[in-house]
């Protein structure tokens, strides 16, 4: 009987350790999925703002050209 309880305790411990690993992994995934921390998000934001600026600049000069 003691052997059975020991095995059960080992299984519970292994299950607990597995759960801890899973939680840690899930937290890492959440960190990666968080858009602010994402490198791709930052790059996209950077390039988008640059492109917006370029297109705005372009429209502004073209409107000025039309006015003259």
* Same domain, yes or no: 47 and 65: yes
pLDDT for residue 9: 92
Residues 48 and 65 in one domain: yes
* Total domains, the chain: 2
The conformation of residue 36, written as its DSSP 8-state character, comes to G
Reported as a pLDDT band with limits 50, 70 and 90, residue 52 is: low
In this prediction the pTM is 0.34
pLDDT exceeds 60 at position 20: yes
Whole-angstrom distance, CA of residue 14 vs CA of residue 35: 34
In degrees and rounded to multiples of 5, residue 12 shows phi and psi of -60, -40
Mean pLDDT score, 32-46: 69
Do residues 23 and 44 share a domain?
no
4 & 17 share domain: yes
Instruction: Please check whether residue 41 is in contact with residue 35, taking contact to mean a CB–CB distance below 8 angstroms.
Output: yes
25 lies in the same domain as 44: no
Average pLDDT over residues 53-65: 55
Average pLDDT over residues 29-56: 66
Note down the domain range covering 64: 38-68
């Amino acid at each position: 009987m003691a052997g059975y309880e020991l095995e059960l305790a080992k299984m519970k411990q292994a299950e607990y350790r597995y759960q801890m690993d899973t939680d840690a992994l899930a937290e890492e995934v959440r960190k990666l999925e968080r858009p602010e921390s994402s490198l791709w998000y930052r790059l996209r934001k950077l390039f988008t703002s640059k492109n917006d600026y370029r297109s705005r600049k372009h429209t502004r000069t073209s409107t000025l050209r039309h006015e003259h």
